[in-house]
Amino acid sequence: MSREDLKKDPIQNQLYERSQQEGIQTIWEREEKQQPHCGFGTLGLCCKNCNLGPCRIDPFGEGATRGVCGADADTISARNLVRHIAAGASCHSDHGREIVKTLHLTAVGKTKFYKVRDEEKLKAVAKEYKVNVDGRTVETIAKELAEKMFAEFGQQEGELALIQRAPEKQKKIWRKYSLMPRGIDREPVEALSRTHIGVDNDYNNLMQHGMRVALADGWGGSMIATELTDILFGKPSPKRAKANLSVLKEDQVNLIVHGHVPLLSEVICDASSDPELISLAKEHGALGINLAGICCTANEILVRRGYPVAGDFLQQELAIMTGAVDLMLVDLQCIMPSLSELGNCFHTKIVSTSEKARFPGMNHVEFHEEEALPIAKAIVRMAIENFPNRNKEKVCIPKGEGKDLIPGFTTEYVFDMLGGRYRPSYKPLNEAIINGRIRGVAGVVGCDNPKMASSASHVTLVKELIKNDVLVVQTGCSALSCGRAGLLTPEAAFDYAGKGLKEVCEAVGCPPVLHLGSCVDNSRILTACCEMVKEGGIGRSLDELPVAGAAPEWMSEKAIAIGWYFVASGLLVVLGEPLPVYGSDNMTKYVFEDVEKITGGKWAFDKDPLKMAKIMIEHIDSKRKALSLKPMMYESKVEVGR
Amino acid sequence: MKKKRLHYDVTKCVACRTCELVCFVGHSLSKDIFEAISEKKIHLPKVKVFQDKGKNFPVACRHCDDPKCVDACIARALTYDLEKKEVIHDKDKCVGCWMCIMVCPYGAIRPDKRVKIPTRCDHCVEIGQPQCAKNCPTKAISYEEEEGVK
């Protein structure tokens, strides 16, 4: 979201104006100071993998065409890209590992603060790992499942358990081209080894491994994270909630959880509703404790418990700027290091909680699962005790009611939503696609980025897609952006959806844009696609489905990994800004054309959200044509803005 | 009118070559790095960073008061605009004899072999502001009137 878009948002702009008046630097100023971003990095042409360099390739062909070691533009940009994928995949998989650890600690009784809330799902996933479930206690099943999952991280040969969910045709492709991941940790380690000086120098071979790393994330680490989080904290279900900075309350203790791994935030939810702590808050002059989230932790407690969302990645500084946040708790991923300094401008206490993520100048209360509740209570107490320090004159909570949103859809929930309790099924969705009421399904996901000059990319793109009868599924910060714009409500179907999609939403009672959760929950998009294939009639494999994906404002390495696991799984992924490969003609051709010949998936880049929608719709239409599906039911009657 | 020149502080230049890239983008059709790199007619940057004795020197046409290149030009493609105090390069007249490159005392003009004429700084006349000075991350390049420089 660019500064111009920010200024158009009345709620956020109140706080941005405040930062300007008080001379506080935000991400938008820092972005301006970084202009222009290094062109060599942008084009993928700089290499600092060894001390022969750092080397750069001259994109004009006049100067160096090779690095000191002899690597050319193809090798350098492919090596850099594979390292990005490895870092992104590692983030997701490490997140998954933490949840496995918690399930194990719970099963062996080393922590009493967690329990298996979804036995049915535990047993279903355990069966996929070939764990015997008959006549065994939940604890023994959970223990054996956790141990098998741990083993998958260190596995050296063979295939992952959850990737077996993919359609047979996909698996055949992965086996044929050596894309099948062998172990969750093995692939990123091999990626670092291959990109060392003088190892793998063939961009085709490098990218083939890059895709294997990404698949180990999507069908491995991320999927494990999603499934086990559901098992430990319950499957999400739709609920009405609010997402805006105005969810902060003047007369209550405002506690914000920010980051990604939900292990602590879930316990904070319990702690913040503890009667003892609520009465302590009252003793300190507050009416109660108001818990809200930022970034993907927000998504986790939103989809499962309906807690309000204060904001996404770009709002983390603005939230503190309200002067009303008594404590912000952070764990890891997407946390701006600028927060510690910003906290000093207000009374806000910022507390880091992960041993893996420390921030100079921040308070640190280290989280351990064994002591989860006492730690959570201590943090809530810190927030309460900080409430009297709040300078009431400095409080500026934006006026204005935020819009409602209905999050909490999952692959499993779609069965019940469409088929009812007695006949849970994906059939109505597939039939709506076959009949031409719904054109197809699009995933619009990913980060927020102040770089994006075009107006409100997420919202414009999603509106254009639903107008053209494309059902949209969302995760992460992208979902929160559209939630703020009111697109995640059933009512949005009447205002923005095309006639066919509107009819479906009306009959089912669902929003035209479904919020599936946090960024590891992109794995839900994979499993939902598998269910669509299983139901039949719209393709035998993921690459035949009339679906497409986009990350209009991507910025993190995690986004690169996610994009690649979708492309490797046969889908089209459209980005708002290109991957850093344009400095190499071969790599550019690879992401646009060559990869499609291998996996059926491919990349497209366009910064104009309307053009992105056009690319996605054309792709979906081409898949519909290949499947000989009926023409769109209301095509001639709909004003198509493309 | 006082003469404005590009000035270089060699103590600040870190050889990041941002000036080369923004010069290239500024002279492209699209003015966007991703599109510019795939444009059919790619021009070389008009500034280039050289290194000598541990110091980095961004070098571009000095637009000399007494331009040797104008005297040497056999095709009369180069003229000295007395009002703007700049050397003007008429690309249509230029025959690519490279004489200007031979006589330039600063080595500031380079052959662009793809288009077969020299590449030389025009102070970003199309945009109206030299992009190298505007975008230099360490402010080693400035575009100022002569007296303003210390």
Radius of gyration of chain B from its Cα atoms, rounded to whole angstroms = 15
Is the predicted ipTM greater than 0.90, yes or no?
Answer: no
Give A328-361 pLDDT, tens digit per residue. 999 999 999 999 999 999 999 999 999 999 999 9
Written as one letter, the residue type at A196 is: H
Weakest-pLDDT range from A102-111, A158-167, A586-595, B119-128: B119-128
Task: Look at residue B38 and tell me whether its pLDDT is greater than 90.
Answer: no
Helix (H), strand (E), coil (C) string for A390-441: CCHHHCCCCCCCCCEECECCCHHHHHHHHHCCCCCCCHHHHHHHHHCCCCEE
The bridge status of strand A349-352 relative to strand A289-294 is unpaired
Could you say which DSSP state residue A605 is in?
Answer: E
Contact B90, B79 (CB under 8 A): yes
pLDDT in tens, A418-429: 888 788 899 999
Of A9-13, A439-443, A520-524, B93-97, which range is least confident?
A9-13
pLDDT in tens, A19-56: 999 999 999 999 988 888 888 899 999 999 999 989 99
The verdict on a CB contact (< 8 Å) between B42 and A60 is yes
Decide: A265 and A114 in contact? Cβ < 8 Å.
no
**What confidence tier does A375 reach under pLDDT thresholds 50, 70, 90?**
very high
B109: pLDDT confidence band, cut at 50, 70 and 90? very high
What are the residues facing B51 on neighbouring strands?
B56
CA distance B137 to chain A (A): 8
- What gap in Å lies between CA A137 and CA A582, rounded to an integer? 55
Chain A residues touching residue B38 (CB < 8 angstroms): 582, 588
Is A56 within 8 Å of B17 when comparing Cβ atoms? yes
Task: Write the single-letter amino acid at B77.
Answer: A
**Between chains, do A35 and B24 touch, taking CB under 8 Å as contact?**
no
Would the pLDDT of A641 be above 70? Answer: no
CA distance, residue B116 to nearest chain A CA (Å): 13
Task: From chain A, pick out residues whose CB is under 8 angstroms from the CB of B135.
Answer: 35-36
3-state secondary structure A176-189: HCCCCCCCCCHHHH
3-state SS, residue A357? strand
Residue A74, pLDDT above cutoff 50? yes
Q: What is the pLDDT of residues B53-90, one digit of tens each?
A: 888 889 999 999 999 999 999 999 999 999 889 999 99
pLDDT, one tens digit per residue, over A262-309 is 999 999 999 999 999 999 999 999 999 999 999 999 999 999 999 999
The whole-angstrom separation of Cα B42 and Cα B21 is: 12
Residue-wise pLDDT for A8-17, tens only, equals 888 889 999 9
Give the residue, A372 or B11, on which the prediction is more confident.
A372
pLDDT at A642: 46
Render A201-260 in DSSP notation, one character per residue.
--HHHHHHHHHHHHHHIIIIIHHHHHHHHHHHH-------EEBSGGGS-TTSEEEEEESS
Burial of A325 (0-12, 13-18, 19+ CB in 10 A): buried
Which is more confidently placed, A148 or A58? Answer: A148
What separation, in Å, do the N-terminal and C-terminal C-alpha atoms of chain B show? 20
For the cut 50, the answer to whether the pLDDT of residue A64 exceeds it is yes
Q: Which of A88-92, A233-237, A412-416, A502-506 has the lowest mean pLDDT?
A: A412-416
Q: What is the average pLDDT across A81-109?
A: 98
Confidence (pLDDT) at A640: 47
Q: Which residue of A has its CA nearest to B113?
A: A62
pLDDT of residue A638: 46
Q: Is B34 in Cβ contact with A605 (below 8 Å)? A: yes
Give the whole-angstrom CA distance, residue A133 versus residue A475. Answer: 32
Over residues B119-147, the pLDDT tens digits come to 999 999 989 899 999 998 888 999 988 76
- Record: contact B37-A43, CB cut-off 8 A: yes
Residue B114 has a pLDDT of 84
Given a cut of 50, whether residue B150 has pLDDT beyond it is: no
pLDDT in tens, A183-197: 999 999 999 999 999
Distance from CA of A61 to the nearest CA of B (A): 9
Q: Are A92 and A563 in contact (CB under 8 A)?
A: no
In angstroms, what separates the C-alpha of B5 from chain A's closest C-alpha? 22
Whether B119 contacts chain A with CB within 8 A: no
DSSP A591: I
pLDDT in tens, A430-473: 999 999 999 999 999 999 999 886 668 999 999 999 999 999 99
A374: number of Cβ within 10 Å: 13
